[in-house]
A and B are shown apart, each in its own frame.
Chain A
């Protein structure tokens, strides 16, 4: 049966197609945007409203073993935020780590339709996919972790980049992963012995490779495999004072690798790795230096990891960083190392306006967003739930579009931080077009999702309609209305079907899971499979035959094929 929909007369913001607030109709047939539809198409009147592609989140910890450890460890996080079942929806709980059904609904209510889980331990990828399968409405995918993997480090040590590329291809297929994720390269292997690495050139214990070598090799592999996204990097020295230099060094160390016109590296949640200073009382914002680097170079993109003053749950594969932070908070700490591959840490925390370091962190995120000139290079995230829950995105948007909104917070934060931040002197205010860029168009482009993040003919009909009349709204003054509009979409449309009306879910649909299948020459793959077979039982307590996840395991699998150059 043909299903047609015509969204009439909205103000359309479609940055990838250069449409900036034009009043136009969007025609949808069978889940895709089309040139035009017949007379019998269902009409959806968007007069006086803002129409954007569905939101695309590039980095949000929504599923998998450590998210679930966090849920299990923090009943106090959920008990005040129950989500009752309705005629259309399953029940669940919020807040910083919502249960899976609630996660999908809350994203959809904000007009988001695609979300990527950014840190999957390969051995536990099946767990991630079980949760992704259960998350309603949104499309999704996950990034397996490679930065501390024994096979990776050994191939790097031997300088066998082609074999490393074949291995990464095997792993993406085995874990149904989308992109290469690197977290604290080498540092988590050092955490095996309770240690960490100090920077890009500190050798990894027992493996005789450096973080620099690991990052460079994986970026080369990314090119060889033609992967749709860049290497997604969480650098060394996360959360340490003075780490902005490590972040810049990490970006700089791959500058010479050919980019093929799109960034070779995406550095994530830079708020956590953009700190100047030598000690905690001395922490300053490193945002200006990082923004300057990003402004001058095209081989990198970054996302914010914006901090929100609220309760949060920290979770990362960066085990040593989590323990270091736990020693400061003394709250609750979960650690879960994964054999031969990676680690994970979870800590309960609270950000306070009165806390000097927290206030600086808040400022770093916003300074980055405002100082990086090109919105195609910087994406909105809170590194959910590390900087704050994803449900705080509308609040972040209000800060970006309104200096007044920022100033209201600045007036309440720690006085020393007020003096030391550059933020009060920054006048820039985002337009809706720029907001559409950093929340969907640029993220979809960075992920290489050709059918997402835009409303051109052939695009997936994932569409968000917000109650904002651009010609009559002064965003900077009416930031509260903006925030409200982005919190509760007037309509969210997923694959051509209306799933949210007036901020409430009216239909429960299932999204797809994206993963990447690089095609590698048979010879290269055979070499690597033989080597894996000879070592697998030594490295793992799971048999190689029981390691890969079959495609049928994904409820709605969407493989992106690439052709590798090996």
Chain B
């Protein structure tokens, strides 16, 4: 490598899932990563394949084809698209830094747009649930130290958050719980997942009937009789036994995932889960931690909340923040055909959104700020490549449990590629110099 010296960086923070593992060891030189240690398989691959599939130059669509251009031109085009639009959508944000998200809110206010993050299509219902029922939660270390009962419901951390069980739950070593045998694990899911195979009890709930099971459990926890023999495919005795386990534990922790929030009932499921945990605190100590996905989706909610008062789906078209999910949420505004331009930062809605929303998205000009090629970048008018947070750029991120971390740069980004925060700042400056509409 032409004389570049190799070093090993320790305590590197992983920017894949929101578990915030911060004990990685990365062997690298100034430009390339040789190897990654201590991470899960996904983490190692994220670091070692950092160079794959990258966008290396800003691209602007001319005569139907994306062609390389300069940053200045791409930023100018992006600013023109956004300031011309009547109802621009600024979407994504869960895979970038809080500093960049902050710029996103500023830009949304400047152009009078709708800013939404990926929460809208994952744990948005959890937030709506907690706005009704509150939430009894804690940081992951409290679970590690104290929990003698762990419940995974509608999630499969062995695959989605691979180090969750070893760092925080059944296989972790805490102050008051030292070993696997001091903790019990219950898994509730529609199928026997790999996580379920580790469980002391696996409860198979019928698809889309979690709400019934949660409500039945809550009924039993509150000491009332269940009248049916079987609820949501689970025999009454099993539900009563589960309720007893929950009430009798010293410190219980419920983790739930998209199996609750994105199946029938959505925010009602989340509300039922949060209410169950709240009620359990009358009898014992119980907490709940939603299994957020991307490494900074929590941060997207935090920044949006402290700057606008609302965690996602924030409409700034009136000059002040409004929040009305279903109306001001990205998918709905797109499906209604109201959005007339989109800025997508560190996300891929063309792959992930429902058909009706994607159909409209493909009709409007998209500006994508993204390190790697995605279906969304391929469909864009303007593509601006960005550095990857926690590998090529430093930025603040929030773990699932709201613990903030500074994910530091390990190597340089590809030549000329800039961090999101700089790109967004340049778009803001250009938009201002074009003359603000509002």
A residues neighboring B (CB under 8 Å): 63, 65, 67-69, 71-75, 78-79, 82-85, 90-93, 98-101, 123-124, 126-127, 130-131, 134, 150, 191-194, 206, 323, 326-327, 332-340, 343, 346, 538-543, 545-546, 549-550, 553
Report yes or no: B302 in contact with A75, Cβ–Cβ below 8 A. Answer: no
Known: A75-B131, A541-B140. A68 touches B307 (CB 8 A): no
Report yes or no: A337 in contact with B284, Cβ–Cβ below 8 A. Answer: no
Scan B127-161; emit 1 where CB is below 8 A from any A CB, else 0: 10011111111111110111000000000000000
Report yes or no: A100 in contact with B307, Cβ–Cβ below 8 A. Answer: yes
Select A123's contact among B109, B131, B307, B403, beta carbons within 8 Å: B403
Report yes or no: B102 in contact with A339, Cβ–Cβ below 8 A. Answer: no
Question: Complex formed: what's the CA distance from A150 to B250 in Å?
Answer: 20
Question: Complex formed: what's the CA distance from A85 to B107 in Å?
Answer: 13
The 7 A-B pairs of least Cβ separation, nearest first, read A339-B141, A93-B309, A337-B138, A82-B320, A126-B404, A194-B285, A78-B309
* Set of chain A residues within 8 Å of B139, measured between Cβ atoms: 123, 336-339, 541
Chain A residue at minimal CB-CB distance from B13: A546
Report yes or no: A85 in contact with B131, Cβ–Cβ below 8 A. Answer: no
Question: Complex formed: what's the CA distance from A65 to B299 in Å?
Answer: 11
Kindly identify, within residues 342 to 376 of chain B, every residue whose CB is under 8 Å from any CB belonging to chain A. Answer: none
* Shortest Cβ distance from residue B12 to the other chain A in the assembled complex, whole angstroms: 9
Kindly identify, within residues 93 to 125 of chain B, every residue whose CB is under 8 Å from any CB belonging to chain A. Answer: 98, 102, 106, 109
Asked if B321 is an interface residue, CB under 8 A from chain A, the answer is yes
Question: Complex formed: what's the CA distance from A492 to B251 in Å?
Answer: 51
Select B305's contact among A72, A91, A206, A338, beta carbons within 8 Å: A72
- Given contacts A91-B109, A327-B282, 19 further A-B pairs with CB under 8 A are A72-B305, A73-B130, A73-B131, A78-B310, A79-B322, A91-B320, A93-B310, A99-B306, A99-B321, A126-B406, A127-B302, A127-B402, A192-B251, A334-B136, A336-B139, A339-B139, A541-B141, A541-B144, A546-B405
Select A85's contact among B136, B320, B322, B406, beta carbons within 8 Å: B320
Number of interface residues of B (CB under 8 A): 63
Report yes or no: B308 in contact with A91, Cβ–Cβ below 8 A. Answer: yes
30 contacts between A and B (CB under 8 A): A68-B306, A69-B402, A72-B130, A72-B301, A72-B311, A75-B323, A90-B106, A90-B307, A93-B308, A99-B305, A123-B403, A127-B402, A130-B98, A192-B145, A193-B251, A194-B284, A332-B131, A333-B278, A334-B134, A334-B135, A335-B134, A335-B135, A335-B281, A337-B139, A337-B287, A346-B134, A541-B144, A541-B168, A542-B403, A546-B22
Question: Complex formed: what's the CA distance from A99 to B305 in Å?
Answer: 7
Report yes or no: B307 in contact with A101, Cβ–Cβ below 8 A. Answer: yes
* Set of chain B residues within 8 Å of A71, measured between Cβ atoms: 305-306, 309
Quick one: which of B11, B132, B251, B302 has the most chain A CB within 10 A?
B302
Chain B residue at minimal CB-CB distance from A193: B285
Known: A90-B109, A92-B321. A127 touches B404 (CB 8 A): yes
* Set of chain A residues within 8 Å of B251, measured between Cβ atoms: 192-193
Asked if B326 is an interface residue, CB under 8 A from chain A, the answer is no
Asked if B318 is an interface residue, CB under 8 A from chain A, the answer is yes
Report yes or no: A336 in contact with B146, Cβ–Cβ below 8 A. Answer: no
Select B133's contact among A65, A332, A550, beta carbons within 8 Å: A332
Asked if B422 is an interface residue, CB under 8 A from chain A, the answer is no
Report yes or no: B306 in contact with A333, Cβ–Cβ below 8 A. Answer: no
Scan B388-413; emit 1 where CB is below 8 A from any A CB, else 0: 00000000101000111110000000
Report yes or no: B138 in contact with A334, Cβ–Cβ below 8 A. Answer: no
Kindly identify, within residues 1 to 24 of chain B, every residue whose CB is under 8 Å from any CB belonging to chain A. Answer: 10-11, 13, 20, 22-23
* Set of chain B residues within 8 Å of A126, measured between Cβ atoms: 396, 404-406
* Set of chain A residues within 8 Å of B175, measured between Cβ atoms: 150, 538-539
Question: Complex formed: what's the CA distance from A327 to B307 in Å?
Answer: 31
Question: Complex formed: what's the CA distance from A428 to B251 in Å?
Answer: 52
* Shortest Cβ distance from residue B275 to the other chain A in the assembled complex, whole angstroms: 11
